[in-house]
Amino acid sequence: MKLSDLQQWRDRAVRDVSMRGERKEWRVVVSMGTSGIAAGARDVMRALMDEIERQELENVEVALTGSLGLDDFEPVLRVEHQDESVFYGRLTPEAARSIISEHVCQGRKVERFVIGLPKERE
């Protein structure tokens, strides 16, 4: 995956959100800082996008961010739903697919990858 691929995904997501003018039910934020990329965040991002597309999920927004300050746990992502955020770390593409299938689709946290307790967003 190249930087241009990520930029295209981001641009497509921004267009979709701005066209609908609504916030999606789920938000998945992927850490794409230097250490995350070195640890395999691009492959994790690709697996997330593939799984979301495969399951035809329209209620999921995917966002990219720089480092979340959790370099020892990279690749890292945060799943946001209502007032709860769950941090997942040390991910593989298969783990990312599981998070979409189990957490986003079925509402069950994938405990073996959780690195941060749910915390209310401000």
Summarize pLDDT for 56-81 with one digit per residue, the tens: 999 999 999 999 889 999 999 999 99
pLDDT in tens, 4-31: 877 777 776 665 554 445 679 999 999 9
Q: How many domains does the chain have?
A: 1
What number of H helices and E strands is found in the chain? Answer: 5, 5
- pTM given for the model: 0.79
Mean pLDDT for 32-49 is: 95
Domain with 24 in it? 3-120
Percent of the chain clearing pLDDT 70 (strictly above) = 83
The structure tokens listed for 27 are 């938000």
The domain that holds 116 is classified in CATH as: 3.40.30.10
B/e letters for 6-36, b = 16+ CB within 10 Å, e = fewer, are: beebeeebeeeeeeeeeebebbbbbbbbebb
